[in-house]
Structure 1
Amino acid sequence: MDRDQSARLKRHQKVASVLQEHPTELATLPAVQDLAAEYLRRFELLSPALAQKGLRSEGATEAKTDHTTTLIGRVVRHANALLLLYKKEGNLEAARNLHVHRSDYTRLNAPELATEADEVAQAAKLRQADLAGYGIRPADVKDLAQSVADFTAAAPAPKVAIEQRKVGGATFRQALKALDDFLKEDLKAAMELLAQDHPQLAARLQEARRVDAPGYGRSAKAQARKAAKQQRKGDTPDGAATPPAG
């Protein structure tokens, strides 16, 4: 999921949130209520992508960070022990292929780090007996292998999983485009119907659907409140003031 798709999906999340907060108002117009229900149904099919994109709980994020820190620390220690062993044996090519600095690993993405760490873990397992003189015990080698497994389990799934996943018979990209169209056409028409009796709800929906539009700044909420106030007072749609009496 690229940045544009993420922004569009977050917009739908905001619109869905507003709809879910106003069931009573929606129930006054059965046709609009049906449209809202259909929109929410379609959004629910796409919502798992929000979690995969990284909008997870703080606890999950902290757990992943802990796994990364632990893994890199253990990998660097084992890699340096292997480096000294290889040099002692005169195996300079193997020594050159090792990454022995923390920065070598912190700049890698999750799949790359998992691969590099697993290679070091496998090498350490093969030379376990020879590494004893470098302070690497069998328990340390086992801990490294466990860290690789823990990190791999906590790492996010590849982006391609979301791109290729079928959503109600369509790809993620197609389903998101269909939801965009539903918002711009069907739900926009519903907003017009809501504006007469529920101007505040209509204004909130308008704000939510425009939140990621270029140039939509901090004044959005103020504009929404102003629009609702004008409709309550019976002002004209273009914002012109009602002529004074007499």
Structure 2
Amino acid sequence: MPRKSTKQTSRTAPSLRRWALWALVTGALCIGVAALAHRAIAPGPTFYMKQEARRLGRIAHDWTPIADIAPVMARSAVAAEDADFCNHWGFDMRAIREVMERGAGRGASTISQQTVKNVYLWHGRSWLRKALEALMTPVVEAAWSKRRIIEVYLNVAEFDEGIFGVGAASRHYFGVNASQLTPRQAARLAAVLPDPKDRSASKPTAWVQKRAAGIMDGAATIRRDGRAACFED
């Protein structure tokens, strides 16, 4: 069987390096352009939304500007998922250290990371997705304001099977617009995250009620101590 010549091998290696560099640069440009565009333009249906629409036949989702969302909803989401949202640049290093010390496999994902995953990537646990998420999160943090990040997060999060975004969730669970949510309703919506298929905001279990009560307290606390200032007017 004929062997590849040394010359052929030497030509192949630079070609692979050029292809890898081209792919990296192209990917980085696409990420940057998308992040800049979504500073003002609402992201379209996410990959996961499309998957669920195919599986279920339809989903409920409509974009609700943050000005039309009760401020307590944003505070509740932050209190539930990322209390130091205003103080980090996309990664909560304190939470990451705590998770590593516990030996847990999850639990330190910030709202910024979840937003990147929901908008640009796919669900499921894989090293590739986590690597892309780690690369894209600082880009989104640099391109968007904190207020924009929480706005997008609240509009793409799943709150029940096939129910995406706080606008659809408010009507689905409570029959009100997102602007009319009470502190208790907002806390219950936040309490179903990140496991909406097994939790209900309108028929909460004792555990969800307890979690919602803690979120109500947390939302009030971050308002008092200034940790909500970065996403409130």
TM over 0.5: no
Greater helix proportion: 1
TM (normalized to structure 2)? 0.21
TM (normalized to structure 1)? 0.21
Larger Cα-atom Rg: 1
